Each structure stands twice: as C-alpha cells, then as structure tokens.
Structure 1
Amino acid sequence: MHMQLLHNDRVIIFDRADFGRSNLSLPGGRCRVNPRERVLLAGDCTAHSAEYDVAANAARPLFVFTDTWCSSGTVAPDGTLVQTGGWNDGYRNARTMPVCGGDDESCDWSEKQDALAANRWYATNQILPDGRAFIIGGRRQFSYEFYPKADPSDTSAVQMPFLVQTRDPEENNLYPFVHLNIDSNLFIFAKNRAILLDYKRNKVVRTYPLLADGDPRNYPSSGSSVLLPLKPNPTEAELLVCGGAPSGSNNSTKGGTRIFVPALTTCGRIKITDASPAWVIETMPSPRVMGDMILLPNGAEVAIINGAADGTAGWEAASTPNYAPVIYRPDHSPGDRFEEQAATGVPRLYHSSVVLLRDGRLLVGGSNPHIYYNFSDVRFPTELSLEAFSPEYLYPSNDMLRPRILNPSPTGAAASVTYGAKLALKFSVPASARRRRRGGAGAGGLGQVSVTMVAAVPGGGQDGGGARPGRHVHYVSATMPATAVLAPPGYYMVFVVNGHGGPHTVIQDARF
C-alpha cells in the first residue's frame, strides 16, 4: 500500500493490518494481539510491514500494531519516517520508523496513541519549511493540523471550508493533492478545484479555475499530481495533474450491474505562480486511474505508472489494468511530451506503489483490489512482488556517456550542506563522452521535490584521481537552494547528469 525510501538505501513497505495473515511471519514467535483486531481475533503472528534492503535484495519483517489502512506520512528532517492516521485504532495515531543501522534486528516502528487532533483516514501530509508535517483532510474531516505539536496536549484542528465545498456523494476530495509553492504557501487541489493557502494565517490567498470539464481527480477517482522540477533560483512553479475518473464512476462499480467507466485521458498543467493562472489540457496515450507520478532524476522527465484504464480505486472497482508506463517530458513541445513505454505483465491496481531508488530505477510493488488477502481463484490476485522499471537513461546503450561520481563518496556518510552554500562534486566521464558537457547536477528529495542546481559542467583533467582508465575527471560546484521553502530540511539524493535528460548516476544522500 505504501513504500518509502530512507537514506540508508532501504525501503519501508507497509500494508493495512486487518487483511488477515500475510505471507511474512514475525520473528521469534512474536504476535500482534490487538483487542480492536477485526479478522484474527486470537492474534496475528504475521508482519504487515517490512524493511527492504535494496542492495541485498532481502526483506526484514517489521511490527506495526495499529491499522495503517489509507494513512499518510512524510520524512522528518532527521530522516525518520513519520506516518500518521489510518483506520479503526489507527485514526489518530502517529508512527515513526527510524533509519536502521547495519544489521540491527531490533530497529522497528514506534507508535504514539491519539497524537492527532482528528481522525485522519485518507488524509494528505506535506513537509513544511520548518520540518513539521501539514496534515489535511480525511474521510469526513474538513480540517487541517500540524505534527509534531508544540504542545503534546494540543487537540485543535483548523477548519477548512474548501474541503466542504469540494465534497460530493462519492467523496472525490479524499487524499487531496498538496504542494509547497515557492512563495511558502500551499497549493491544495481537491476534486476539480484548487486554492493557494497561507497556512500561517489560515487565509486563502488565491483561487484557481476549475480543471477542464470538472471531472474529479482525487480519491476514489484517483488521479495523481506532481510539482514539476524547479529551475535554479526559481521565479515560477508549475504543476501537473493527470488522470482520474468521470463523475459517477465510483457508484457505477457498485451493485448488481457493475459498469467500469473508462478513466480520464487528460492532464492539466498550470503555472501556480502566475497572476492569472490557467490550466493547459494535454492528452495521455491511454486512460489512467490510480496511477502514480514520480519525478525522474535527470530533471527532465516524469514517469506515470501503475493503475487501471477504467473504474476507480476501491474493492473490485476496476476491470482493465493499465500495464504501460508513460514518460512525460515537460520541456518538450505540446503534442510531443508523452511517450508510452513497454508494458509490464503485472497488474498494479488498488494499493500499489512506486519509489525512486538511488540507482535511478523505479521500484514498483503491490496491488490488492480485494477486501482481504486473496491469492487464488480471482482475476487479480493479491500481488506481493516487487519489480524494477529502468527508464531509458539506464539502458546499456548509454553506458559510454554515463558519469561516475568520485567524491563525495557515494558509499560514505551523507554530506552536510547549508542553504545557499556550495557542494563540490568530483566525477568522471568516459573519454569518448568528454566533449558532451551540457548537463549538471540536481537534487531529489525523499518527498518528491526536484531542484536543478547547476546548468553546465566545466572542462576537466586527464585520467586519475580515482577515475578508472579511459575516463576523464571533472569538477563542479553545485549551489544549494537558497531557502527551506525551495527544499525543506532533510535528506536528498544528488545526481550528475551528462546531457540534459541524459544518463545519470547517484552520489549519496546530501543533508540540507
């Protein structure tokens, strides 16, 4: 259901805790005995969370006690995964998963009961410049709050009329899209409308026009959104919303006569910083609902992956998987921005997920469109596999252009840098690629923010200094984003790109 890469190069994976027995046992005979358990009343000795070690291709079971179904989270400045809300006994809980060192088998989830002011089921979390999480919405919750609380006894939530105004009988404003704008305000999109919120004053400072024909884009008509990569010293920010389902689609999947309405093919793109912003409509190669959009590390592409071509999110609510990932290139001309990729053979429907790995691949996993685990005798069984999608920049044909970072070491401790400071990078490129110097470095946050830091690479010296034979050494000084508004505090992955949109390599996570 959810996956998050941490800066130790391990992925935390978790699912709802009331599906029944999973296929991964808890170690040492440990069992989850929860008085509010709905399925296994005598106790559950299987895991519903795991730590996946990417390099070792191995999983370690983790223990989560309360139900994380349709919860939300952020990564705190110190690298801890902070995960909030859920269902049943998880409504108001906050859970933390630290960054585990080495082979520490005792490193696991911690939970804090009733840490939130309101039930947060299908809510959205956004990291703020001060490191707190902004938590908004949820089923029948028309408010927002912050976590952690300055005062742990604080039980207040701020009412949000916008969420009342965008609610409909199908609740198409759950999991609202939230993005931090470069002016420090929050862009919030629900159903088919958006506002810009000054959360410090609880004031709506801008109202955006209706998107396209007004069809819903949020859960259960689940489209997806992404803040497009920011330029150095940005003066504008642009946002992309893709997919969704026509009004009435969710109700059509219910009852005796089940109709799976084709999903939306449209995307809306908008400059949220413009004085008079307007949506520009583009058309994807295929319809998609429940898709995931993720920024790629070359700073020039967005991947759209997973989901279905009809129906909505929910139990048995989609009929046709969308197997083909799509690459979107925002800097290309209109009409030349989408490119469909080779189809995967695994249906990834409700409760699937994707994360960007440090080597540039996309880790894709999950899918369970059933109310419980169901591994047989159904059209789309519960899917527990992981697979990796490699974009074009990782093709072997690009190996002779691929840069390799030498210092700071990709395997060493994270480099600590401050806002506006310089990060010195030493890297090599194959001798055959030494004339191709158009490129630079970019930072990708663990919470989906991408900032281009330099636009060109100066010339370098001869082989040596740690480079393999046949490679030339180069140096570049990358200027960090100026403020926490552009890159909230935390851990980031830094990439060197040879050629705009070309092959890249990961160095290490750099802490801002």
Structure 2
Amino acid sequence: MGGVMDSRRWSSLVLVTLVLATLQSELPGAGAAVSLGTWRIVKENAGVSSMHAIVTPVEGSVVILDHTNSGPTNLTFPDGRCRVTTYDKILKNDCGAHSLVLDPETGALRPLMVWTDPFCSSGNIVADGSIQQTGGDFEGAKLTRSLSPDCYAVEPINKYCDWQENKVANSSTPLYLKWQRWYSTNVLLPDGRQIVFGGKNSKDTCEFTPPSATNQRARTMAFLTMTTDSLTCDTTTNPYCAVSKNGPNNWYPYAYLLPNDMIYLFANRDSIMYDYKKDVVVRNYPKIPGNPRNYPSGGSSVMLPLKWEDGYASAEVVICGGATNTSNAYALGSTSCGRMKVTDPAPEWIMEDMPIPRIMGEMVMLPDGSAIIINGAMAGFQGFKTATVPVLTPVLYSPDKALGLRFTLMKPSVIPRMYHSTANLLTDGSVMIAGSNTNQYYTFRKPANVVSKVFFPTELSVEAFLPPYNLLSLGGRPTITSVDRTVVKLGSLLQVVFNDRTSGPASADKFMFTMNSSPWSTHSYSQGQRMVTLKVSGRISSSYGVDANGTPTNFRQAALAIPRYSKILPPTYYMLWVVKNGNPSNKCTWIQITF
C-alpha cells in the first residue's frame, strides 16, 4: 500500500513540475519576462521566522512577529533577558526572541520581547502610528498588544522598547477581546478603531477593538456560520483541525472598507456588503466560480486603488488562487482569479487565469497601481507539511491591461517561501519577502518520519524583490525632495516638490500620485492594505535645469487634493509616491492623515 501511495505522490509531483516548465517556456513573451526585476538578500539569518510582518511609519523598518509556543529561536537578547512563564507550552524559561525590528536597507536588527502567544493573529497600524495587534493562540488568544512608534528604530531611545499588552483605561487589567481571535481579520474604520472578523474559536462573530460603550458585545454573524465547511476532526484533540478534509475555508476572511462606509466581506466562495454601524447585511454577492479561497485553501486578495477620477465612488476586488483539494498535499492548486466591481448595482465576477497555479501567494499593491503575486506553492493547501512544489516566480498583475494580458512573469527567487511567509511593500518600492516555516517548531533538518517532498526547513533569511521600475527611456524614477507638511488633514491640499530626469518634452510626461497604507501581512493576505490615487489641483509647475551631478533635470511642484472623507482614507500613516510614466519615485514620503 505504501508503494502505491508513493508512486501516486511522485506522479503528481512530476505532473506539477512539468506544468510549471511548460508555462515558463510556452507563454507568449515568457522567456523574456522571467528576467524582469532584481533580488537582493536583506539578511542571511534574521534569527526569527516571519509569520507576521508590517512596515513601520516614518522609520521604514519592518517588525516581524512569530509565535511564542514554538521552542527556541535563533535570536537571543543581547543583555541575556529571558521570557520566564508558567504557561508556555514548550519552554517555561525561554531565552529566544520571537519578534524583532529590522532595517531593510542595512539588515541591522533588534529583538523585541512579546510575552503571550500571537500565533496566527491579526493587526493594523492605527491613527497614532502604533501597531495594534489582536489575538493569537493559547494564553494569547483574547489579548491585544501594541508596539509604540518609539520602538520602531533599531537603536531606540529607551533601552527596553518592546511589545506591550493593552490594558483597560486607568487600570492594570488586560484589555481582553470578547472571543478568542485566531486566524481573524482586522479592518481599520473611519473613526480609528478596528473591527475584527471571525477566526477559530470566535463563535462566528465580529467585534470592535477597542470597544466603545455602545458596542461592547461581540456580534454573531450568520454569514460566517454559513461559509464554514464542515470539519472532519475533533478540535478538542487536534488543535490544528483547519488542515483536515473539507474545512473550514473561511478563516482569515478578506475584508475591505468600501467608499460608502460599508465593509466588503468575503469568506470561502461567498461575500456580502456589511453595514457595521447597523449590524445589517446590505447585499449578497454572486458566489465566485471555482475553489474556496480562504484558510486553509490559501488564496489571496487585494482591493484595487480607489481613484479620484470617479470621485472614489467605485471599488474593485481581486481574488486569486487557492487549493483545489484541502486533503491532498499533492493536488495541483488553482490558477483562477476573479475580479468584481463590488460597488456596481449588479456586479458579476470576471474570471481569468494566472500563468502558474498558486496557493499561499501574497498579493501586494505596488505604487504604480499594479500588484505583485509572490511566494507560495503549486500544490497542496495551508498548514504544517501540507503543500509541495514551491512557486519561486513572482507574477505581476496589471489591472488596466486587457483581459488575457494582465499577467507577466518576473525573475524567480531561489528560496522557497511556503506556509508562514510574508510580503511587504518597502519605502523604496521593493517588496520584502521573509519567513516560511511549515513545521510547528524551528526545524532545519528533515525528521526521519517525514516525507521528503513535504518537508521544507524553517527559513530565517530575508530578501527583497524590486520590480522593473527603472525604465530610463521613460525618464527613470522621480525623487521627492520635500512636502510642505507630513501631518495632513482630510480635505486639504498637500504641496509636493520633486524632480525627475528629462526624457523628452516635459509637457509629454504623465504623472500619477498615489498613497499606500502599510498592511499586516500574514497567511497570504495583507490586512489593511489600501491604496488611493490623488488629484492634482491646478497644474504641475515645471522648470528645467541640472542637478548636482550635472544631469538634465525637471524641477516640479504639485498641489495634491487629499480626499475629504475618512471612509476613503481612514486616519493612519500612508506612503506617498510620485509615479512618472509608470516609474514610481525612488523613495516614498510618509504622510499622517488626520481629521
């Protein structure tokens, strides 16, 4: 029986490998496309594998967070600090760090102390720039944590600058969530709070954090019950029941704040428009064709940029990939992508296929309005040792191109990024890739009882992928030299000064100004990812000259109209970009949006 099973597994693996080889050799233009973009190593060994990651405002560092009940990591505190507890499942005296802050330019890092388990949790950057994180597993499942902006530097002002567990105002009592939040999703609201949806052991509810006097209770959501595929194992004896056959396929639901102040919520294959103020489902959307998309299926999703051209009235959601069988680590994943304008009166899914099957792919919005699909595997599903055949080739998705022409293969990496990997847009426009741990503990050698084709070692390296922005024929990448202020009120004008290389008549250049949030990346979905385009008020002023190096340069200034409403730009920090002829500026400028 074992021989037959091994033969079937090998046959599936060979099939998957042949499919990838065929795709890369026979797609129109694929031979040239795979050379696009550049990779660099940020850190050979960060010591902590990235399960969650987020880019910090202003500082531009990256905070990485792993789970704590995983035994020792490869990073310790320089002063010998240890985490001594009675509740840790593996080590009561744990001297390994489970979080860190990393400078993506130099690779310098500093360990951060986190006391309770944030395993498979959620979070966002809120109005004051702090990271507000919710839930986790075991002793951390109902806790919320924060990291202050004072802690974002690799060398902070204070000697100890770490994760803090949030407390009830004017007390030492922990600020508990109503229900456990493991595999849940957060949305930043216009009033600065977060709403948290679903997850394991959440009783199919949503709740606000921090709570207010008018909505202390958690709300039961029939939608989350309806979209739960039945489990076939006992959650009391198997805490990782998510990887069992048929279920649940609705953890880490996709959620977006829409420009009408409603929330688009997607789980499994279904979606709704939810009025979070009245606790009412406003509309139900058509079921997406094909496979389930959420955990453990492992698809991914983005909301495309909200645009000033239509007054920020419309919103489009893209959902791609996922598993076709959540009980077979060798089953080929999905190539299907669905796109729907969710603000239309009668929306329908428009389907297309990616060039490569992909589960656990991260979708990251780039400053030019395109999206990169990166990381993941070709076969299997999310979970420990439940996927095979890493996808090393990023794919660029260009939403403004015609159907059938939107996907472009990029230059591949050489490092598999499987379950528990992350992807984040950095301040230079590159995408930082980190993590990959398909093992419950840090494991660098294959255990004797594990099938080799499903084993991937714990990955501690960090790398960055730079998409092919530097098109000199179009004038290269602009440089933002100044803004008139970095704290900007809704509905105001922001003056930005920038320069760019000449590439023909200055009047022929086309500009786009965009703002990207900094989302919480985990489990093939970036929570809080948001992008808007900005209207130029009046004309872009331009004068010709040479820069300090004698290069012919255009010196320009533009007044940018910031949207008036917080339902378009919830108050938090955003990366401001100048995009010339498709080339984003070589650095962003951080802008804090306030009321």
TM-score interval, smaller chain: over 0.9
AA aligned to 1:322 is V
CA distance in 1, matches of 2:131, 2:474: 34
| 1:445 aligns to 2:517 (yes or no) | yes
Deviations 1:421-464 (A, max 9, x none): 11111111113455342112111112321111036963511327
- 2:162 pairs, out of 93, 105, 108, with 108
Q: By how many angstroms is 1:100 displaced?
A: 2.5
* Deviations, residues 456-504 of structure 1 (Å, cap 9, x unaligned): 96351132798965212111111111211011001111000111x3343
Find the aligned partners of 1:82 and 1:457 in 2 and give their Cα distance. Answer: 39
1:20 to 63, 71, 79: 71
Indicate the residue corresponding to 1:402 in structure 2: 477
Do the aligned partners of 1:451 and 1:481 also contact (CA within 8 Å) in 2? no
User: Which of 481, 505, 509 lines up with 2:563 in the alignment?
Assistant: 481
Q: Distance in 2 between matches of 1:467 and 1:134?
A: 50
Which of structures 1 and 2 has the larger relative contact order (alpha carbons within 8 angstroms, sep 6+)? 2
Counterpart of 2:434 in structure 1 is: 365
Contact 2:321 2:361 in 1 (8 A): yes
Q: Which residue of 2 aligns with 1:454?
A: 535
- Structure 1 residues 207 and 391 mapped into 2: Cα distance closer, same or farther (>3 Å)? same
1:197 to 2:251 alignment: no
Q: Report the counterpart of residue 169 of structure 2 in structure 1.
A: none
Q: What SS is found at the alignment partner of 1:100?
A: helix
Tell me the percent identity: 38
- Counterparts of 1:426 and 1:468, CA distance in 2: 19
Q: Which residue of 2 aligns with 1:421?
A: 492
Distance 2:337 2:416 in 1: 22
1:274 aligns with 2:344: yes
Partner Cα distance (2:473, 2:112) in 1: 38
Q: Which residue of 1 aligns with 2:109?
A: 59
Note closer, same or farther for the CA distance 1:24–1:67 as it changes in structure 2 (3 Å cut). same
Count of paired positions: 494
Structure 1 counterpart of 2:221, from 160, 166, 171: 160
In the aligned structure 2, how far is the partner of 1:216 from the partner of 1:287?
14
Which residue number corresponds to residue 98 of structure 1?
Answer: 148
**The one of 420, 424, 435 aligned to 1:355:** 424
Structure 2 residue 233 is matched with structure 1 residue 172: no
Structure-1 residue corresponding to 2:3: none
Query: How far apart, in 1, do the equivalents of 2:107 and 2:199 lie?
Result: 35
Residue 399 of structure 1, CA deviation? 8.7
- Equivalence map 1:180-195=2 (5 Å): 180-195=257-272
Which AA in structure 1 matches 2:145?
A: R
What amino acid sits opposite 2:419 in the alignment? Y
Instruction: Tell me by how many angstroms 1:10 deviates.
Output: 1.1
Aligned residue in 1 for 2:183: 122
2:357 to 287, 304, 307: 287
Return closer, same or farther for 1:398/1:98 CA change in 2, 3 Å cut-off.
farther
After TM superposition, the structure 1 = structure 2 runs for residues 70-109 of structure 1, keeping only pairs within 5 Å, are: 70-100=120-150, 103-104=155-156, 105-109=159-163
1:498 aligned onto 2:560: no
Q: Which range moves more in the overlay, 451-460 or 415-424?
A: 451-460
Match of 2:461 in 1: 385
SS at 2:326's partner residue?
A: helix
User: In structure 2, what is the Cα distance between the partners aligned to 1:382 and 1:394?
Assistant: 34
C-alpha distance in 2, partners of 1:272/1:467? Answer: 49
Amino acid in structure 1 at the alignment position of 2:441: Y
Runs of 5+ unmatched residues, structure 2: 1-50, 167-173, 232-246, 448-454, 520-528
Q: Distance in 2 between matches of 1:442 and 1:468?
A: 29
Say if 1:290 and 1:457 are closer, same or farther in 2 by CA, change over 3 A. Answer: farther
Number of the residue aligned with 1:257: none
- Given that residues 480 and 585 in structure 2 are in contact (C-alpha distance below 8 angstroms), is that contact kept between their aligned partners in structure 1? no
Q: SS of the counterpart of 2:327? A: helix
Aligned alpha-carbon RMSD (Å): 2.0
User: Aligned-pair distance for 1:218?
Assistant: 0.2
The answer to whether the Cα contact below 8 Å between 1:440 and 1:457 also exists between their aligned partners in 2 is no
When residues 399 and 63 of structure 1 are mapped into structure 2, their CA distance, relative to the original with a 3 A threshold, is: farther
Mark the CA change 1:23 to 1:430 in structure 2 (over 3 Å): closer, same or farther: same
Cα distance in 1, alignment partners of residues 292 and 478 from structure 2: 43
Aligned counterpart for 2:199 among listed residues 120, 138, 144: 138
Instruction: Tell me if structure 2 keeps the 8 A contact 1:172–1:220.
Output: yes
Name the amino acid aligned to 1:188: L
CA contact (8 A) 1:401 1:433 kept: no
Read off the aligned partner of 2:358 and give its amino acid letter.
R
Structure 1: any 5+ residue segments left out of the alignment? 254-259
Query: In the aligned structure 2, how far is the partner of 1:264 from the partner of 1:472?
Result: 46
